[in-house]
Structure 1
Amino acid sequence: MHISFLIHNAYGIGGTIRTTYNLAGTLAEHHDVEIVSVFRHREEPVFPPGAKVRLRHLVDLRKGAPGYEGDDPEYERPATVFPRAEGRYKQYSALTDRRIAEHLRSLESDVVVGTRPGLNVHIAQQARRGVARVGQEHLTLATHSPQLKLTLRTHYPRLDAVTTVTEADAATYRKLMRLPGVRVEAVPNSIPAPALEPADSTGKWVIAAGRLAPAKRYDLLIRAFEKVVAERPDWRLRIYGAGAERAKLRAQIDKRGLYNHVFLMGPATPLDPEWVKGSIGAVTSSLESFGMTIVEAMRCGLPVVSTDCPHGPGEIIDNGVDGLLVPTGKVDGIAAGLLKLINDDELRRSMGRAALASSARFDPARVAGRYESLFTDLTSRGGLRGSLHRTRGALLSSAFRTTDRSRSALRKARAA
């Protein structure tokens, strides 16, 4: 198959970018795969797309580059196809509308995959006939505004399939969206096995990673770790990531006198070498569309203490077996979960081994296999529809020829 991914910006950093590269690189072992980035803002991508994956862009925003288009008059005019209610709307324009439309109408592929709602709307409206149209949801339906949900309900029926990263979100799509004839499938994000030995559970570090954003609730983690330190001052916490909350979190750490126990490490790529230095992963989010860092930590042999927030953690962690699920928003519950693993070396080791084993289901080969099965089914169904159309056409043509012969014979009989 020829498979084409359409992504917002393949040159940036983010979970959608990473998992798209993981999936594309694995599919490229057996198929012709390309990633088309709407934007390009730097010379080289942060994550390697893979030797067999072609990467190209539609709009060049590299200042100083010969192809720079940031001063194109069309770039200053607002988009009309990309939905206004989509979170990235202000980055799109009449220029992106035109470039995406030209790309999709000329696309010679079996499958085209969109990676965010606004791009899925483009695909639904503009991908040429005969291409299987797949829209990925990397967030959740519940986090979209009513206006965006209405837009998706209007355009998504033209897709062949919608994939979500959790079963919970797939169920929400099936229940709330009217998508007759559209396959709705839950396929998780993929995380490759690290090229390192897994954590040995001896390092007295708790590791957390992600954007320093309000939804991650690192303020709760810091308060919970204050309770941990009161009982186990030999343990420390590292938080990796960048974001708007950094100054506020720094002030909280200083105010609570935790500057020797809680460290804001900044962003790190890759994270695997940092995970394996620790013994426990921590996630305190109020909402997770999936939970990439949970899987990353587990693939490095760490049990994860996570809030049982919607949607992902409960589908990743087997509570009490390969990690712990604790109440969302509860400092005491987070602290209790951490201390349970900190104070029981054997439990921590056994859960780490279980996490390493169970997280193998998120390996790119397994996830790509599920997508390959979906794509094959969609394209074969398309082939069947085409075959039926051809058969129907042949039958009609035959019927017309038979009718013409009958009429000709009738005219000859009358003339005789």
Structure 2
Amino acid sequence: MRIRYLMLDAYGGGGTVRTVVSQANAMAAAGHRVELVSLVRRRETPQFAPDPRVTVTTLVDQRGGRQPDSAGRRAWRRIRGNVVPRGEFAAGHFTERVERAALDYVSGLRDGILVTTRPALNLISARRTPGSVVRVAQEHMNLTAYPESIRNEIARHYGRLDAITVLTRTNRLEYQRLLPGTPIVQLPNAVHRVERERSQQVNPVVVAAGRLVPQKGFDLLIQAFAQVVPEHPDWRLRIFGTGPRGTELAGLVEQYGLGGHVTLPGRTERLDKELADASVYALSSRFEGLPMVMIEAMTHALPVVAFDCPTGPGDVLTDGVDGVLVPPRDVDALAATLKRVIADRDLRLSLGTAAAKTALSYGADQVMPRWEKLFEMLSRGERVIDGF
């Protein structure tokens, strides 16, 4: 099969980029012709390396800077908008040149499978990709996380796609209610490896990781940890990641007098080692799609304490078995649960052992054959229902 993955920036970071590149690599390893198409490029080298058998193509090279819209185009967008609606989290990246490049690219395809990987690209594919191409839209975020403007466009255009893949059961039900009759397929992302170095529960460290943005709720986690420190002064919280809220979070650490207890080390190339050396993983997100770093932590037999936010944690964890779920955005409950787990090493060991077992179902050997089967069925024109 010929499979093309269209991404906003295949050279960037983040969980979506990592999982899409991994999927492209797996399909190339299975013998398929795979192309990774990066709508824009801002870095010299990809953060997550494609397999040598994967062809990488860039549509708009922005290493020298971004070309702004013309005055006329800006006025047009204010009045009429564009194909990428306002409210799409990456709408600001779709300048006149970038949007045109995406439209021209998908319009020029004639065969194979096109996999698009975010709402802006899914909408462009639904509206402009010829029907001779199998059009698969990946959704990496739950439907309710999008503003109404995006949900309206999804309802209006996604029905033209051959299949929409979502990460969790909750997501599937949301999309089925919005798009009855459209094939909605639940397929999780795969972790890189499920056999990892396991936490020995000897270091007094709570770890968290992700973009330093409001979605991840690290402000709530820092406030909760301020309640943990008086009872467990030897414990530390390490939050890995970069993003626009870094300065604000550092200020919060200072405000609560946590300079010796909470660190923001930035991005790390050795997150696997950091997870193995920790004793608890905390997920404080306000909303999620499928929290892949959490599942990566579980492969290290780390117990998870997570907000039961929409969606993701509750679709993966069984409360009290392989992790502990806390009411969303409840800082006091998060603090109390962290204190309980920190104080009980036997509980951490039990939760961690079960977490590593749960993570096995997200291994590439379990997930990738299902993707391959989906592509084969769509290529043959077969009717696809969830579970297929």
Structure 1 residues 325-334 or 95-104, which shifts more? 95-104
* 1:269-308 matches, cutoff 5 A: 269-308=269-308
- Partner residue, 2:57: 56
Check the 8 A contact 1:216/1:285 in 2, yes or no: yes
* Structure 1 residue 331: Cα displacement: 2.4
User: Relative to structure 1, is the Cα distance of residues 90 and 199 closer, same or farther in structure 2, using a 3 angstrom cutoff?
Assistant: same
Q: In the TM superposition, what whole-angstrom CA distance separates every residue of 1:212-270 from its partner, at most 9, and x where no partner exists?
A: 22232222222222222222222111111122332232222223222111111112234
Question: Aligned with 2:247: secondary structure?
Answer: helix
Q: Deviations over 1:358-379 (max 9, x none)?
A: 1121122322222112111211
Checking the alignment, whether the CA contact within 8 Å between 1:75 and 1:94 is kept in structure 2 is no
Specify which of 156, 163, 166 is matched with residue 164 of structure 1: 166
Letter in 1 for 2:67: G
Cα shift readout 1:318-356 (whole Å, capped 9, x = no counterpart) = 211111111222222112222222222122112212211
Deviation digits for residues 116-140 of structure 1 (CA, Å, limit 9, x no counterpart): 1111112112222322111111122
1:81 aligned partner, one-letter code: V
| CA gap 1:330/1:94 in 2 versus in 1, 3 angstroms | closer
Q: 2:98 matched to which residue of 1?
A: 96
- Quote the RMSD (CA, aligned, Å): 2.4
Once residues 35 and 314 of structure 2 are traced to their aligned partners in structure 1, the CA distance between those partners, rounded to angstroms, is 33
Structure 1 position 289, deviation (Å): 2.0
Aligned counterparts, 1:177-188, within 5 A? 177-180=178-181, 182-188=182-188
Matching of residue 212 in structure 1 with residue 212 in structure 2: yes
CA distance in 2, matches of 1:103, 1:117: 17
Determine the C-alpha separation between the residues in 1 that align with 2:325 and 2:5: 34
SS of structure 2 residue aligned to 1:18 = helix
Between the two structures, name the one with larger relative contact order (CA 8 Å, sep ≥ 6). Answer: 2
Q: Which residue of 1 aligns with 2:248?
A: 248
Q: Is the 8 A contact 1:114 1:136 kept in 2?
A: yes
Paired residues for 1:246-395 under 5 Å: 246-381=246-381
Which one-letter code corresponds to 2:244 in the other structure?
Answer: A
Amino acid at match of 1:330: D
Matched residue type, 1:93: T
Conservation of the 8 A alpha-carbon contact between 1:138 and 1:165? yes
The CA deviation at 1:109 is 4.1
* Alignment partners' CA distance in 2, 1:81 and 1:326: 39
**Structure 1: distance between partners of 2:189 and 2:263:** 29
Aligned to 1:42: 43
Q: How much has 1:201 moved relative to structure 2?
A: 1.4
Equivalent runs, 1:72-221 vs 2, <5 Å: 80-107=82-109, 109-175=111-177, 177-180=178-181, 182-193=182-193, 197-221=197-221
Q: CA deviation at 1:59?
A: 0.9
Please say if 1:70 is aligned against 2:67: yes
Unaligned runs of 5+ in 2: 384-388
Question: Which amino acid in 2 is paired with 1:197?
Answer: E
Give the number of aligned pairs.
Answer: 377
Q: Where in structure 1 are there 5+ consecutive unaligned residues? A: 384-416
Q: Structure 1 residues 345, 227: CA separation in 2 closer, same or farther (over 3 Å shift)? A: same
How far did 1:144 drift? 1.9
Q: Which moved more, 1:164-173 or 1:263-272?
A: 263-272
Shift of 1:147: 2.1
Aligned equivalent of 1:387: none
CA distance 1:164–1:270, shift in 2 (3 Å):
farther
Q: How far off its partner does 1:305 sit?
A: 0.4
Please state how far the C-alpha of 1:87 moved relative to its aligned partner. Answer: 3.0
Classify the secondary structure of the residue corresponding to 1:9: coil
TM-score scaled by length of structure 1: 0.84
Q: Read off the aligned partner of 1:277 and give its amino acid letter.
A: D
Larger Rg: 1
Residue in 1 that maps onto 2:386: none
AA aligned opposite 1:35? L
User: Does the aligned pair in 2 maintain the 1:196–1:273 contact within 8 Å?
Assistant: no
CA contact (8 A) 1:76 1:93 kept: no
Cα offset for 1:314? 0.3
Bigger shift: residues 7-16 or 140-149: 140-149
- Are 2:194 and 2:359, in contact at CA under 8 Å, matched by a contact in 1? no
Cα deviation, 1:153-182, whole Å, max 9, x if unaligned, reads: 22111101111112111101111x2353x2
| Aligned amino acid, residue 70 of structure 1 | Q
Q: In the superposition, relative to structure 1, how do residues 343 and 90 fare at CA in structure 2: closer, same or farther (>3 Å)?
A: closer
Give secondary structure in 2 for the equivalent of 1:6: strand
User: SS where residue 353 of structure 2 aligns?
Assistant: helix
What displacement does 1:69 show?
Answer: 7.7
Contact 1:207 1:280 in 2 (8 A): yes
Q: Mark the CA change 1:343 to 1:61 in structure 2 (over 3 Å): closer, same or farther.
A: same
Q: Secondary structure at the match of 1:381?
A: coil
